[in-house]
Amino acid sequence: MFRLPFSLRRFTTSTVVNALPKKNKMPPRPMWLIKEDEIREEFIKGGRGPGGQKINKTNSKVQLTHLPTGKVVTCQYSRSQEKNRKRAREILAMKLEEMQDPENCRSAVIAKRKTMVKQNKAKKLRRKYAKLEEERSEEEDEVNEEGVDIEVEVEQFLKRARGEK
């Protein structure tokens, strides 16, 4: 691309774009098609959460029970029954995936990454404080060496003041 300004000098620009594959890709969210006959759905009046008095009057809380495994999921994320139902199904799918493949499921990968981040932060802190300690000890060594020199000079000064050699 180029342009010609009033001075008639040519300005050219270019860009380089690298398209690299994303490392450490997350496993996809579980999108299981859970059969309707395997789930028992109950809508309950919510007792807690956002919504004020209205939440106590409407059946917006969703409770899903997966009949083959016996897993129970309750969700009262919002005042909307549909949003709660959708969220409860996602949570149930994640729990079922976790039961089926506990090492490679999405929640396990997220937990591993969180521990790696925590370890990395702790490592950086240790490195930082070790460096600070090193600098302090070097400064103390310099002060001690200078202090020894001062003591020798003071002793020599006192000897001269007394007339000793």
Residue 85 lies in a domain: yes
- For residue range 58-84, what is the model confidence (pLDDT) as tens digits? 888 999 999 999 999 999 888 888 999
Helix, strand or coil, per DSSP, at residue 88: helix
Residue type, 142: E
Residue 18 lies in a domain: no
Residue 60 lies in a domain: yes
Give me the number of domains the chain comprises.
Answer: 1
Residue 161 lies in a domain: no
Residue type, 59: N
Closest among 109, 121, 43 to 76, alpha carbons compared:
43
- For residue range 73-131, what is the model confidence (pLDDT) as tens digits? 999 888 888 999 999 998 998 888 888 888 878 888 888 888 998 998 888 888 888 88
Residue 49 lies in a domain: yes
How would you class 111 by CB atoms within 10 Å of its CB: exposed for 0-12, middle for 13-18, buried for 19 or more? exposed
Residue 65 lies in a domain: yes
Residue 81 lies in a domain: yes
**Residues 6 or more apart in contact with residue 57 via CB below 8 angstroms:** 45
Cβ contact 107:98 at 8 Å: yes
Residue 19 has pLDDT above 80, yes or no: no
State the residue range of the domain holding 53: 36-100
Cβ contact 62:74 at 8 Å: yes
Residue 106 lies in a domain: no
**Residues 6 or more apart in contact with residue 93 via CB below 8 angstroms:** 29, 30, 31, 32, 34
CATH at 87: 3.30.160.20
